[in-house]
């Protein structure tokens, strides 16, 4: 493919993405296909001769689109948001176009330096104490990782390194292997699966402690667990506090947990993967009070902050422990700039690095701080509106409401809500998933897409309302919200779903 063809192909791809966003609201959010659907659509072996880019691009509609769950659809309310913005997409494209590998400063100085500076921007933006920033005089700093899973694991390794170093300095009689065999970590039973996984990966048992009825890990629970484990001869090492849990977006209190970690000499890691973006708005920053106790902090601009995946922001108070856990030097990595700029390969799992800072820079500049604040406040307001709608129907109850996430259920037995979610799922018009609140089944409604508007919230609510009507076999007295736009949309979508299904049946 020559440069001229690339210009055509690239621009056709830009139009494909633009067309996709223009039509996304009218696509059923969940695909209709069954596992293995693609096997019949593409050959079993790679083609011997090259094909034209036009053929390949045309196959997106035939092969890929039928199997896409539309995360950017305004009707996607599952999990948490995965960011996708136009500045983010273009940043990703240019990064691919430069095709460099940031494995050291000299391997492309701009890669390291833009990351250093944008991580300062970002840290200031969410009000992190200066000691976490690259621009501070101390050993702290920020780095972009691929995911919160990676970060939780990396922080665990740093915690392990620190504990071994500290105990050795205190003249322990234990060998390094003995120390490592006794280490133990803590988080709450509300933490993301990746927290437990970090324990598995790092060979450090992760105790998932029970939370209170709001999903919060209380100080006494942590303190008791530590005491218990010390009595068993174990060595408490690492705590992961959640600011915005996955099930209900609950917030642990760093002011409560921090002093215990300090006293007991435990590494405190803060996982604010989703909710950390809210700290861009001063009115939510109080939820981060006590962050000065943390050793490491993480949030994902690739969730709520409009930067395309992957962009997971991590800060540490002392990068020494990362570097010591990871540093393996080789002659082919040497350069004369050592020590003058961070060598981020020692802060992460892989040797190679993509130019992730570019998309972060694009998003921060093109949206501006005000643009991001507006986005956060808008999505929280939409969630509140959904909460109002649920509260207005006396068959339902709201279990929790925090940031852009509402958890709710039908009053009565869990099976009713399970049935409700199942029925809504079958219609494939909106996508919500299950959660737990206070040991009870609930439905999570998260405002995810940056395209979601008030009419989409009404649309989603009507889906639940109608499914509830079917379950109870009587219509609720609450009048259905009449919204012309949303009614029209619903009708259009039903027509389009029907005709797509017909098409698929025809082509079989």
Instruction: Enumerate the β-bridge partners of residue 434.
Output: 443
Closest CA to 295 of 275, 274, 325, 322: 322
| Site for its own copies contains 53 (CB under 8 A) | yes
Q: Which is nearer to its own copies, 87 or 244 (CB)?
A: 87
CA distance 285 to 214: 20
What is the nearest approach in angstroms of its own copies to the Cβ of residue 219? 25
Give the tokens for residue 311: 């962009």
Q: Residues, the chain, total?
A: 508
Q: Which is nearer to its own copies, 197 or 455 (CB)?
A: 197
Estimate to the nearest angstrom the gap between the alpha carbon of 127 and the chain centroid: 20
Q: Stretches 209-217, 350-358, 377-385, 474-482: which one binds its own copies (CB under 8 A)?
A: 350-358
| Site for its own copies contains 433 (CB under 8 A) | yes
Crossing angle of helices 356-391 and 109-125, in 10° steps, is: 30
| Site for its own copies contains 40 (CB under 8 A) | no
What is the nearest approach in angstroms of its own copies to the Cβ of residue 474? 29
Residue of 58, 62, 98, 485 interacting with its own copies (CB under 8 A): 98
Helix residue spans in 250-327 (DSSP H): 254-264, 301-304, 320-326
What is the nearest approach in angstroms of its own copies to the Cβ of residue 247? 7
Q: Stretches 284-292, 345-353, 382-390, 498-506: which one binds its own copies (CB under 8 A)?
A: 345-353
| Site for its own copies contains 236 (CB under 8 A) | no
Q: What residues numbered 15-34 form the site for its own copies, per CB under 8 A?
A: 15-18, 20-22, 30-31, 33
Q: Which is nearer to its own copies, 60 or 495 (CB)?
A: 60
Q: What residues numbered 367-406 form the site for its own copies, per CB under 8 A?
A: 367-371
CA distance 271 to 287: 13
What is the nearest approach in angstroms of its own copies to the Cβ of residue 40? 11
**Checking DSSP bridges between strand 183-188 and strand 440-446, what pairing results, if any?**
unpaired
Instruction: Enumerate the β-bridge partners of residue 443.
Output: 408, 434
**Checking DSSP bridges between strand 183-188 and strand 235-242, what pairing results, if any?**
parallel
| Site for its own copies contains 61 (CB under 8 A) | no
Residue of 239, 435, 460, 461 interacting with its own copies (CB under 8 A): 435
Interface with its own copies (CB under 8 A), residue total 144
What is the nearest approach in angstroms of its own copies to the Cβ of residue 276? 15
CA distance 440 to 418: 11
CA distance 356 to 333: 21
| Site for its own copies contains 329 (CB under 8 A) | yes
Provide the 10 A C-beta neighbour count for residue 373: 18
| Site for its own copies contains 260 (CB under 8 A) | no
Q: Which is nearer to its own copies, 293 or 299 (CB)?
A: 299
| Site for its own copies contains 114 (CB under 8 A) | yes
What is the nearest approach in angstroms of its own copies to the Cβ of residue 176? 9
Q: Which is nearer to its own copies, 171 or 332 (CB)?
A: 332
Say if CB 120 and CB 142 are below 8 A apart: yes
| Site for its own copies contains 220 (CB under 8 A) | no
Dihedrals phi, psi of 507, to nearest 5 degrees: -75, -10
Say if CB 270 and CB 298 are below 8 A apart: yes
| Site for its own copies contains 495 (CB under 8 A) | no
What is the nearest approach in angstroms of its own copies to the Cβ of residue 171? 21
Helix residue spans in 170-248 (DSSP H): 176-182, 193-201, 219-231
Task: Determine the number of helices (DSSP H) and then strands (DSSP E) in the chain.
Answer: 15, 11
| Residue 210 vs residues 186, 218, 331: alpha-carbon distances, Å | 11, 9, 49
Q: What residues numbered 132-161 form the site for its own copies, per CB under 8 A?
A: 135, 146-150, 153, 157
Residue of 29, 74, 77, 120 interacting with its own copies (CB under 8 A): 120
């Amino acid at each position: 493919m020559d440069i001229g063809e690339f210009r055509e192909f690239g621009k056709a791809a830009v139009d494909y993405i633009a067309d996709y966003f223009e039509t996304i609201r009218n696509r059923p959010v969940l695909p209709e296909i069954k596992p293995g659907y693609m096997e019949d659509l593409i050959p079993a072996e790679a083609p011997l001769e090259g094909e034209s880019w036009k053929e390949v691009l045309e196959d997106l509609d035939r092969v890929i689109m039928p199997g896409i769950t539309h995360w950017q659809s305004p009707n996607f309310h599952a999990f948490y948001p995965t960011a996708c913005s136009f500045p983010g997409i273009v940043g990703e494209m240019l990064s691919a176009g430069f095709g460099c590998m940031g494995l050291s400063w000299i391997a492309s100085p701009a890669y390291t330096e833009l990351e250093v500076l944008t991580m300062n921007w970002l840290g200031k933006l969410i009000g992190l104490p200066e000691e976490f920033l690259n621009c501070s005089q101390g050993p702290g700093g920020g780095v972009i990782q691929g995911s919160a899973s990676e970060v939780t694991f990396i922080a665990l390794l740093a915690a392990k390194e620190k504990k071994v170093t500290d105990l050795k300095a205190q003249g322990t009689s234990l060998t390094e292997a003995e120390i490592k065999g006794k280490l133990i970590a803590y988080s709450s039973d509300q933490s993301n699966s990746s927290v437990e996984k970090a324990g598995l990966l790092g060979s450090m048992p992760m105790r998932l402690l029970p939370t209170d009825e709001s999903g919060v890990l209380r100080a006494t629970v942590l303190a008791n667990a530590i005491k218990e484990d010390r009595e068993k001869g174990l060595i408490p090492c690492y705590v992961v506090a959640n600011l915005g849990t996955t099930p209900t977006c609950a917030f642990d209190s760093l002011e409560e947990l921090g002093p215990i970690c300090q006293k007991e000499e435990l590494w405190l890691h803060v996982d604010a993967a989703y909710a950390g973006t809210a700290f861009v708005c001063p009115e939510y920053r109080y939820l981060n009070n006590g962050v000065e106790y943390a050793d490491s902090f993480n949030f994902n601009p690739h969730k709520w902050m409009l930067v395309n995946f992957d962009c997971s922001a991590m800060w540490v108070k002392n990068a020494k422990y990362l570097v010591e856990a990871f540093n393996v030097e080789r002659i082919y990595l040497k350069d004369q700039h050592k020590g003058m700029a961070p060598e981020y390969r020692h802060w992460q799992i892989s040797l190679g690095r993509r130019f992730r800072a570019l998309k972060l820079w694009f998003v921060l500049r093109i949206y501006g701080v005000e643009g991001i604040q507006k986005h956060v406040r808008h999505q929280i307001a939409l969630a509140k509106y959904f909460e109002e709608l649920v509260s207005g129907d006396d068959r339902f109850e709201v279990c929790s409401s925090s940031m852009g996430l509402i958890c709710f259920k039908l009053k009565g037995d869990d099976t009713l809500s399970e049935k409700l979610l199942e029925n809504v799922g079958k219609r494939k018009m909106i996508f919500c998933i299950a959660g737990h609140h206070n040991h009870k089944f609930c439905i999570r409604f998260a405002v995810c897409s940056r395209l979601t508007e008030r009419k989409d919230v009404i649309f989603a609510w009507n889906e639940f309302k109608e499914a509830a009507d079917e379950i109870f076999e009587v219509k609720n007295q609450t009048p259905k919200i009449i919204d012309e736009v949303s009614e029209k949309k619903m009708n259009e979508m039903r027509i389009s779903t029907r005709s797509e299904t017909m098409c698929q049946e025809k082509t079989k």
